[in-house]
Amino acid sequence: MTLKTALRQGTEILERAGVADARPSAESLLCHALGRERVYLFSHPEHELTTVEWIHYGRYLHERSNGKPAQYITKRQEFWGREFRVTPAVLIPRPETEILIEQALLARPSPRRVLDLCTGSGCIAVTLALELGADVTATDVSAEAVEVARNNARALGARVTILEADLAGGVEGVFDLITANPPYVESGEIARLMREVREYEPRLALDGGPDGLDVWRRIEPEARRLLSPGGLLLGEFGSGQADAMLSLFPAPWQGARIIHDLAGLPRAIAVRYDPGS
């Protein structure tokens, strides 16, 4: 069977299984079975699959048909132009989270000491270490996530100190920037998420309690404890939570700004800690 046919048949199988992104999923699973980059599929449409490639591809299609995200099958996801390894112990990095990176790169003066909470795959911490050349510490409450983040930091050549901790528990020091993409989904909403998220992504990384903001309420005093005067907190939240988020940051927090994602939804907050005000 040629790549062209394999791609067509794989797409059909996934469509029949109700997979929304059937074609891109089939492409990424076929690449994974071949151990090749995507461009190969289109430059070699007449490549004949070997038996082994076909068996692997079939298994991946089966897993994807059952709802497993393609990223947990291929074990990778791109974020800010770099490839991160992911396992089901960490949330798959989302494109909207790149907003936090954009905002961090725009911050003046450029942050030198950064703390990333709920780091998961380490995508924010590693990217900031590489893009800002900053001294980055990251934490996650999950030992498995810490291992994934450490492996990503090592593979991408980023110097990040990654600690197993509940938020900033045990972290001392002063930081110019704290970033966080904590669990923020309302507990009651989890059952309504896409099957890929609901059944495969770690609940620990999603469930933010009854109104989604349990973890954010705990981050606020930690950020006050650890930010330098004038330091910046940048974090992600759910699309209906902007007003509730703003109310979590009264004085000595100053100048809270809500940032919208590419879909136009409120998605991130930037707020400065200004104890002198």
C-alpha angle 139-233-263 in degrees, rounded to nearest 5: 100
Give the Cα separation of 12 and 65 in Å (integer).
Answer: 11
Which of 182, 266 has the CB closer to ligand GLN?
182
57 versus 216: smaller Cβ distance to ligand GLN: 216
Residue with Cβ nearer ligand GLN (122 or 183): 183
CB of 205 to ligand GLN, least distance (A): 6
272 contacts: CB under 8 Å, gap ≥ 6: 230, 231, 232, 233, 253, 254, 255
Torsion of CA 270, 271, 272, 273, to 10 degrees: -140
The residue (of 13 and 258) whose beta carbon lies closer to ligand GLN is 258
Secondary structure E strands in 86-159: 113-117, 135-140
- Identify the DSSP state of 202: -
Minimal distance, residue 117 CB to ligand GLN, in Å = 11
- Taking a C-beta distance cutoff of 8 angstroms, is the pair 102, 262 a contact? no
In the complex, least distance from residue 238 CB atom to ligand GLN, rounded to whole angstroms = 7
Work out how close the CB of 61 gets to ligand GLN at its nearest, in angstroms, rounded to a whole number: 24
* Nearest of 31, 152, 9 to residue 86 by alpha carbon: 152
User: Position of tokens 């089966």?
Assistant: 62
Give the nearer residue to ligand GLN in terms of CB position, either 11 or 181.
Answer: 181
Binding stretches for ligand GLN (CB under 6 A)? 91, 94, 181-185, 193, 197, 206
Whole-number minimum distance, CB 174 to ligand GLN, in Å?
26
From CA 268, how far away is CA 99, in angstroms rounded? 7
Q: How far apart are CA 87 and CA 41, in angstroms?
A: 25
- Number of residues assigned to the chain: 277
- In the complex with ligand GLN, the residue whose CB is nearer, 27 or 196, is 196
In whole angstroms, the minimum distance from the beta carbon of 114 to ligand GLN comes to: 18
